[in-house]
Chain A
Amino acid sequence: MALSIPDSPDFGPLHRSLLKSKAWVIFLAFLSVPALWFVFRAQLVGCERYFLLATGVLAAAGYLLAALYALRKFIHRTPFAHEFAMRVPGTSLDQAEIELGVLRREISEGKHSNRGAIVRAANAIAKKNGVHKVIALRVVADDDEPGGFGVQTLPRNPLGKTARWFETHFFLGLACPILVLFHGQGSLDSTMAIALNTLAVIVTVTGLFGLMLWLKTPTILTRLESDLSTEEAFVLSRSLQRQLNTRVGENAAARSAVESFVARKQATRDRAETTRQDLEQAGFAAADAQDVTVLAAQLVSVKATLSRLDRVRRRLTTWKYVHIPPAVLLMALVAIHIVSVFWY
């Protein structure tokens, strides 16, 4: 089954697609509650209780939704995502495509001119073959033939792309601390209020810091990887290691000389010369000793590159240290806060 490639945004920086994201609507919708309150507060005297309830429920729901993003990302790294169980046999998809082909031919022959009937016929084909959960069918006007229609087959993306979830996570992360602030009405007179407000700020600030790292680091990393990508460097290092193991064999003295060279962070000329002499003493012919030393020096250099790239790559993950634990704590406190409100 050939799936049409849906319109995808242009290549370019991440912040551009965040700014263009439709998740702005969620941000605005969440903030519309305090905004409306400000505008109409004179008329809403006596309704403070409902305002507190609305901001509280929204903030809790927002944080829950934001946390679901992390859950979704995690579950799709395992075989347990429910969408993975939607798989249908390729033969069903092929059969559906053949029948859709017949439908397309009938459309081109003018046998169908009613858009609704075409949609129904296409959906019936998908349902009959059991592929309706896997493909979405779109009936579009045919550009080449005025009044004609085409049937497009698109992937269904049941839960929506993770990228959309990330955008939602980002905008919820921005909106929720503001709601928390309004919910507490700016007062920090209890431990819970201090903790919730502080944690909400920490989570948002660290999230923004992480986003900044996600925006900057790939560019730096790509520049550093211009000669050798991390993946290539890793494969190369393993290949060099294998070659060295083969060349050194079971010769313990030679192995020790090579290992002590390879363990170094830099391949200096002096150290290479020492290794070459050690190899000769271990029974290697001069030419062989030279070859093995060159291989070892290459390995040291590749490992140094890998280590440099690793340091930069680590930045992409490290920030989560200051984001995830406060976020977990925040969620726990939110739960305690909700329970205590209803309890007392």
Chain B
Amino acid sequence: MNEDRFLTALRRFPLFATLSDHGFQQLATHHQKEVVEAGASLLSQGDYRDRFCVLVSGVASSFMVEPSGQRADLGTIGPGDYFGELCAVSGQPSSSSVIAESHCTMIVLEQPLFRMLYAEPDFAELIDGSYRDRALTLHLRAAPLLSGLETSDLDLIRANAELEVFPKGTTIAHEGAPVGALFLVRSGAVKSTRSGSGEQVTGYFMANSSFGERAFLDGSHTWTETYVAMAKTDIVRIDRATTDQVLARSPKAMELLHEAAGRIFEQDELEVMGHNQSVKGGDALAIDMHRCIRCNVCVESCVAVHEDRVPRLSKRGHRVYAGDVPVTLATSCYHCDIPECMLACGFGAIRRDSQGMVRFVEANCIGCGSCSMACPYGVIRMTPAPGSGERRGVLKHKLWETLPLVGPRMYERRQQKLIEQEQKSDEPIVNAQGIPVTAKAIKCDRCEGLPFEACVYNCPTEAIRRVDPGSLFRKPV
């Protein structure tokens, strides 16, 4: 198929038929064509591949593995059909897998191109419609609250449920308002608070959790808490009438509802994690302050492994206690489940790799700083920027600087010199495409491509290490 015929064929697809001429021109210029053989994996469940794919020829099949381990076929995908919009829109891992059943040709839209087309209302409407439909279908199959229900009950819920997307900070339900539905969190995070003497956090709800069950169990009619989206959050709403109908005819549904209502986290853990925002993080860099001998090897080796000689690690961060040991959660990327930096970046400069690591695409970074502002942990820094001094080991004593009398003076003089050097080096830089930018976003890249993380690897006392933030607060069972 020559290129013109190929593009004409693309234009006929309903998805692209409504694109403006400019949009289609962009698509024609920037899309990537991929040809795959039968049996090739096009998308794997759990993968973070934020590219959007449209099948041009051939047949593929879609399926998911349910929490019970059962494989559920989700149908076939033919020419003109698309997949990957769930990841592309939300930055969430894929909920299903796609495998080529025959020799297939497909076009791939990387994030910047997808975002550009998504800005066109007609295209966005189609994608949003399909997103809601598929996300709902997939979530109803995967939600623990609904696992084991009869097909007829699931069909009833499917027919009446709705998927709603709440931006960060939106109130989903108000304390005192009537309970009109049962809510299932598909992605994102929800915080529940109770008013009284100040706002009191009563719970956090992450993906695959639910809230509102108690109203159906104890018959109360009003919300006893206010529920607020802590990040962009997808919620499946099942209205009260449908829920009552399913509960009336399914003892299994009642049992599952009781189970979900009883699944309440320990208050202490929630408070600590909530205050430290660790609730959303996947992986933390923790410094045991009773072991840290302040030798600065971690920061210096971080500098050593980065070409621009700017450390990604800062030893400043939230101080928490793991038992009686003070631990600093260093400002290192948490590779969030909901990467707000990625959603805030309009230039495709932040991507997830296939394993969920949030990475910068340096060539696309224009130094606007929106990611830095969106990051809830303050992990992303713009450089050049007023240095914190850690960059050149300002706070580290050289051996001779510990000499009595003359030592402190030598230390101060070196500090001053380093600060001046740092200020002088705050000059405009160019990005990888050679375009001058005023700043560049940097964050921990976990020493990508190296067989270790330099800071963890080189700490002589093993004070710094990667941990699951939850494990710091989890009490032994």
Binding site for B on A (CB under 8 A): 1-3, 5, 8-9, 11-14, 17, 73, 76-79, 81, 83-84, 86-90, 92-94, 97-98, 101-102, 105, 133-135, 155-158, 161-163, 165-166, 214, 217-219, 221-222, 225-226, 229-232, 234-235, 238, 310, 313-314, 316-318, 320-321, 324
Query: In whole angstroms, how far apart are the Cα atoms of A2 and B356 in the complex?
Result: 8
Q: How far is the CB of B399 from chain A (nearest CB, A)?
A: 6
Tell me if B316 and A231 are in contact (CB < 8 A): yes
- Decide yes or no: A238 and B419 within 8 Å by CB, A76-B454, A134-B449 being known contacts: yes
Which A residues are in CB contact (< 8 Å) with B327?
11
Tell me if A101 and B389 are in contact (CB < 8 A): no
- Interface assignment of B41: CB less than 8 Å from any CB of chain A: yes
Give the 9 A-B CB pairs with smallest separation, nearest first: A2-B355, A156-B451, A163-B462, A87-B449, A77-B300, A134-B451, A222-B289, A318-B402, A166-B460
Which B residues are in CB contact (< 8 Å) with A320?
399
Query: In whole angstroms, how far apart are the Cα atoms of A342 and B402 in the complex?
Result: 41
Q: How far is the CB of A6 from chain B (nearest CB, A)?
A: 9
Known contacts A86-B450, A94-B354, A105-B41; 8 additional CB pairs below 8 A are: A5-B283, A8-B462, A11-B327, A97-B355, A218-B290, A229-B315, A230-B294, A316-B295
Segment touching A, from B166-174, B178-186, B318-326: B318-326
Tell me if A87 and B450 are in contact (CB < 8 A): yes
Tell me if B397 and A317 are in contact (CB < 8 A): yes
Tell me if B304 and A79 are in contact (CB < 8 A): yes
Q: How far is the CB of B444 from chain A (nearest CB, A)?
A: 13
Q: 25 A-B Cβ contacts within 8 A?
A: A2-B355, A5-B283, A9-B462, A11-B327, A14-B291, A77-B300, A78-B304, A79-B305, A86-B451, A89-B449, A98-B41, A98-B354, A101-B44, A133-B451, A134-B450, A155-B451, A156-B451, A161-B462, A163-B459, A163-B460, A166-B461, A221-B294, A231-B316, A238-B386, A310-B397
Tell me if B457 and A157 are in contact (CB < 8 A): yes
Which A residues are in CB contact (< 8 Å) with B359?
90
Tell me if A222 and B449 are in contact (CB < 8 A): no
Which A residues are in CB contact (< 8 Å) with B402?
314, 317-318, 321
Tell me if A84 and B322 are in contact (CB < 8 A): no
Which A residues are in CB contact (< 8 Å) with B323?
11
Which B residues are in CB contact (< 8 Å) with A11?
286, 288, 290-291, 322-323, 325, 327
Which B residues are in CB contact (< 8 Å) with A2?
355-357
Which A residues are in CB contact (< 8 Å) with B325?
11-12
Query: In whole angstroms, how far apart are the Cα atoms of A310 and B395 in the complex?
Result: 9
Q: How far is the CB of B311 from chain A (nearest CB, A)?
A: 12
Tell me if A90 and B300 are in contact (CB < 8 A): no
Chain B stretch 273-317: residues in CB contact (< 8 A) with chain A: 283, 286, 288-295, 297, 300-301, 304-305, 314-316
Which B residues are in CB contact (< 8 Å) with A89?
449
Tell me if A17 and B304 are in contact (CB < 8 A): no
Tell me if A217 and B450 are in contact (CB < 8 A): no
Tell me if B454 and A73 are in contact (CB < 8 A): no
Tell me if B322 and A97 are in contact (CB < 8 A): no
- Interface assignment of B388: CB less than 8 Å from any CB of chain A: yes
- Interface assignment of B38: CB less than 8 Å from any CB of chain A: no
- Decide yes or no: A218 and B293 within 8 Å by CB, A77-B300, A97-B354 being known contacts: yes
Which A residues are in CB contact (< 8 Å) with B41?
98, 101-102, 105
Tell me if B397 and A135 are in contact (CB < 8 A): no
Q: Is the interface of A mostly helix, strand, loop or mixed?
A: helix
Nearest A-chain residue to B393, judged by Cβ: A77
Nearest A-chain residue to B411, judged by Cβ: A310
Query: In whole angstroms, how far apart are the Cα atoms of A201 and B325 in the complex?
Result: 34
- Interface assignment of B158: CB less than 8 Å from any CB of chain A: no
Select B293's contact among A3, A214, A234, beta carbons within 8 Å. Answer: A214
Which A residues are in CB contact (< 8 Å) with B300?
77
Tell me if B388 and A235 are in contact (CB < 8 A): yes
Query: In whole angstroms, how far apart are the Cα atoms of A78 and B297 in the complex?
Result: 10
Tell me if A135 and B461 are in contact (CB < 8 A): no
Which A residues are in CB contact (< 8 Å) with B465?
8
Which B residues are in CB contact (< 8 Å) with A316?
293-295
Nearest B-chain residue to A230, judged by Cβ: B395
Q: How far is the CB of B221 from chain A (nearest CB, A)?
A: 42
Nearest B-chain residue to A217, judged by Cβ: B293
Query: In whole angstroms, how far apart are the Cα atoms of A166 and B295 in the complex?
Result: 14
Query: In whole angstroms, how far apart are the Cα atoms of A161 and B289 in the complex?
Result: 19
Select A234's contact among B286, B328, B389, beta carbons within 8 Å. Answer: B389
Q: Which of A2, A78, A83, A165 has the most CB of B within 10 A?
A: A2
Tell me if A73 and B290 are in contact (CB < 8 A): no
Tell me if A1 and B458 are in contact (CB < 8 A): no
- Decide yes or no: A158 and B316 within 8 Å by CB, A78-B304, A218-B292, A314-B397 being known contacts: no
* B218-247 Cβ-contact flags toward A at 8 Å (1 or 0): 000000000000000000000000000000
Which A residues are in CB contact (< 8 Å) with B292?
218
Select B452's contact among A9, A156, A314, beta carbons within 8 Å. Answer: A156
Query: In whole angstroms, how far apart are the Cα atoms of A40 and B280 in the complex?
Result: 64
Which A residues are in CB contact (< 8 Å) with B454?
76, 84
- Interface assignment of B448: CB less than 8 Å from any CB of chain A: yes
Q: How far is the CB of B397 from chain A (nearest CB, A)?
A: 5
Q: How far is the CB of A105 from chain B (nearest CB, A)?
A: 8
